[in-house]
Amino acid sequence: MNGVKTEVDKEKEIEKTYHLIKENCPHIRIDCLETVKQVEEYRQYWKPDKTNIVLLAESHVYTDQNDSKRKLNQCFIQKSLPGYPLNFVRFVYCLGYGEDELLNGEKGSRENAGTPQFWKIFASCIATNPDNPRYYRVLKSGTSCFAERLQNKISVLKEMKQNGIWLLDASIVGLYGNGAKNDLSACDRIIEICWNNYIEGIVEQAEPKFVIIIGKGVEKIVGHKLKIPFEVIDLPSAWLDASSLRRNFRRYTEICTAILNNQPPPPRTGTIQPAPKPPKTRLNQPLHQPSAPQKQTSSKLENILTEHGYKQTSKNGWVKSNRFVQVVNSLEYDFYVRVTWKEKWRNYHAIIFDYSAVNGPICVVPTGALFETNFVNEKRKTAAYANSGYWWTQKFPEDHELSQLVIKHKNRWDLL
């Protein structure tokens, strides 16, 4: 990046991005520019001094002209949060969203329900016990007293900021509550415009160690462009059963706890909801989604390694004489190929990428060949790589050099 952007630079980029959206998607009703800037004001208020984890969601909720007439109660809020913005927007960082008692002005026809599912995400991110994230503190169903609930919400946001956890949206304009979702291609285009012209730069400047993408729709547009390790978790509003929702909220706790302790996130456990079946490609003929991810070396690969004289030293580590190999299991081998490596594996003999759980290949890649690629060479020089703890995981399109490297080493048992 070419230096640190000033507030004037950011404002100009927001204005440019906003006008590009209006030009490219003129039929979509979007927030006024002033509302977009107010949303950004809230986001900047809660930005950590040092960002460790970015929560990358889709967008805030469309805020109309009637909403814009309402203000937060200055006397009440600024006792706890000096300098806090006072304009009402339908955005979770605005404490008036979902809390009518905090607002002045006439209530409009639209309900001010807020987004309790995002407060569950926030509570999960700072939870010390994944089995007891204490959602009740920030939900009306658990804490009926407005003043107590508001103070609890403020405490959660302050702890997130202190821990370096920051919420960003892939779109600067609201994509909910305005009919935008009736044209999904336009929504995708808006996210693409925002990412290319503003959001990507904000993420890179923040230099987080990890990104949690909230929703597969966002991942579809920006996942392959991210230069930072990430994981996607389903939208909390997605159609999921209660146990799947609990596992997803628990996953926020697992990831945040690991990253804040300078550790890679642990493997996911539990049932994964099947995604809609994609059209066949050269990489998936067909794609099969299993009920659960592999947590250790598959029995097929285990037998092959044993036949070649290797002994297991850890869950996914194997050795023969002075040859160490690392097994990496992945469920992502369809439109993109997931490739993961760690700096500490650099002198290993090989990394075995096992995609067999999704009817993909098992690929034996010499570690030296992986570390000699242009992408890995350049990535190892970046601050983001160091900030991640000197490891990287990313999905690459089929024609990327890393995807091609992995694919061409399918079933190369002779390299063992």
Q: Does pLDDT of 2 surpass 70?
A: no
Contact 215, 58 (CB under 8 A): yes
Q: What is the pLDDT of residue 280?
A: 43
Q: Does pLDDT of 288 surpass 80?
A: no
Is the C-alpha dihedral spanning 283, 326, 384, 170 positive or negative? positive
Contact 17, 194 (CB under 8 A): yes
> Nearest Cα to 128, choosing from 166, 167, 168, 163?
163
Q: Using CA atoms of 275, 278, 282, 288 in order, give the dihedral in degrees to the nearest 10.
A: 40
Tell me the mean pLDDT in the region 384-407: 84
Q: Does pLDDT of 105 surpass 50?
A: yes
Q: What is the pLDDT of residue 3?
A: 56
**Which residue type occupies 232?**
V
Q: How confident is the model at residue 297 (pLDDT cuts 50, 70, 90)?
A: low
Contact 214, 121 (CB under 8 A): yes
Name the average pLDDT for the chain: 88
State how far the Cα of 384 lies from the Cα of 368, in Å rounded to an integer: 22
Q: What percent of the chain has pLDDT above 70? A: 91
Q: How confident is the model at residue 337 (pLDDT cuts 50, 70, 90)?
A: confident
Q: What is the pLDDT of residue 270?
A: 55
What are 123-145's pLDDT values in tens digits? Answer: 999 999 888 899 999 999 899 99
pLDDT higher for 38 or 273? 38
Tell me the mean pLDDT in the region 160-174: 98
Burial, 122: exposed, middle or buried (Cβ in 10 Å; 0-12, 13-18, 19+)?
buried
pLDDT higher for 269 or 287? 269
Question: What is the three-state SS of the chain?
Answer: CCCCCCHHHHHHHHHHHHHHHHHHCCCCCCCCHHHHHHHHHHHHHCCCCCCCEEEEECCCECCCHHHHCCEECHHHHHHHCCCCCCECCCCCCCCCCCCHHHEECCCCCCCCCCCHHHHHHHHHHHCCCCCCCCHHHHCCCCCCCHHHHHHHHHHHHHHHHHHCEEEEECCCCCCECCCHHHCHHHHHHHHHHHHHHHHHHHHHHHCCCEEEEECHHHHHHHHHHCCCCEEEECCCCCCCCHHHHHHHHHHHHHHHHHHHCCCCCCCCCCCCCCCCCCCCCCCCCCCCCCCCCCCCCCHHHHHHHHHCCCEECCCCEEEECCEEEEEEECCCECCEEEEEEEHHHCCCCEEEEECHHHCCCEEEEEHHHHHCCHHHHHHCCCHHHHHCCCEEEEEEECCCHHHHHHHCCECCHHHC
Q: What is the pLDDT of residue 284?
A: 43
Whether a cis peptide bond, with omega within 30° of 0, leads into 48 is no
Parallel, antiparallel, or unpaired for β 71-72 and 103-104?
antiparallel
Q: How confident is the model at residue 59 (pLDDT cuts 50, 70, 90)?
A: very high
Burial, 70: exposed, middle or buried (Cβ in 10 Å; 0-12, 13-18, 19+)?
buried
**Rg of the chain in Å (alpha carbons):** 23
What are 302-319's pLDDT values in tens digits? Answer: 999 999 999 998 888 999
* Tokens standing for residue 277: 């079946």
Size (the chain), residues: 416
What are 178-192's pLDDT values in tens digits? Answer: 888 778 889 999 999
Contact 354, 398 (CB under 8 A): no
Q: Does pLDDT of 287 surpass 80?
A: no
